[in-house]
A and B are shown apart, each in its own frame.
Chain A
Amino acid sequence: MLTVGDELTPIEINEVLAEDVLEWSSILNDPNPIHLDPKASAANGLGNRTVNQGPANLGAIINLIVSNFPDGMIEVIDVKFVGNVFSGDSLRASGRITDVNRDRDCSRIRCAVELRAGNRIALTGQVEIRLPGQPQSYRCSDE
């Protein structure tokens, strides 16, 4: 039974590839050179690797939620981007259940989430998920 305090199954990404950062720039129509050219990163005091896009970092968190709650619907994502992810970094998206509530026709789960690039925290926040029905495999916060 899932309950408050339980850890989500994390997602690990071995390496952020520079070519993937380039592709994200194309998809997002984001011309910021820190995503395209390591020299631009260096010129902005960000080291000698390209910077992964914030929405791509958020994507890792969304994948974390979708893989842990395949029947769920994300209702709220509230995150802060507290550090950069660079090409070559390994990533680990993790989370913990902080609240479970049953409504009349659904359950709502809140999770604290975090994305780490190596040992650095890149993103922190909260996600609220709506689950259809009232699955008995979740223990509510007030039970």
Chain B
Amino acid sequence: MIGGCRVVFSRPLKVEETYEVQAELLSLERKIGKRTGVMDLLKFNVILVETGGEVACTITYTWVLPRGKSNADGR
């Protein structure tokens, strides 16, 4: 499930414009929540690039990936 997002519009998105969508993984971090147990926090960027090569929008997502109940060693 989505935990957060940061959207940065470098320029307006336009109807009829073609965008290349790029993505990059930023981090994957294991956490132990009091209610959710073991979870992984996955942070990644989705980048919309205009045909001329200019970045139009960058979205940094944080997704929460529940991994079930906590074990003593967090696995």
CB atoms of A76 and B7 under 8 A apart: yes
Residues on A with beta carbons closer than 8 Å to the beta carbon of B12: 73
CB atoms of B2 and A76 under 8 A apart: no
Interface of A is mostly: strand
Residues on A with beta carbons closer than 8 Å to the beta carbon of B9: 73-76
Interface of B is mostly: strand
**B3 within 8 A of partner (CB):** yes
A7-15, A78-86, A135-143 - interface stretch:
A78-86
**Which B-chain residue is minimally distant from A127 (CB atoms)?**
B7
Total chain A interface residues with beta-carbon distance under 8 A: 13
Residues on A with beta carbons closer than 8 Å to the beta carbon of B3: 80-81
Quick one: CB contact mask for A73-105 with B, threshold 8 Å, 1 for yes?
A: 111111111000000000000000000000000
List B residues at the A interface (Cβ < 8 Å): 1-9, 12
* 19 residue pairs from A and B, CB less than 8 Å apart: A54-B2, A54-B5, A55-B2, A58-B5, A73-B9, A73-B12, A74-B7, A76-B7, A76-B8, A76-B9, A78-B5, A78-B6, A78-B7, A80-B3, A80-B4, A81-B1, A81-B2, A81-B4, A125-B4
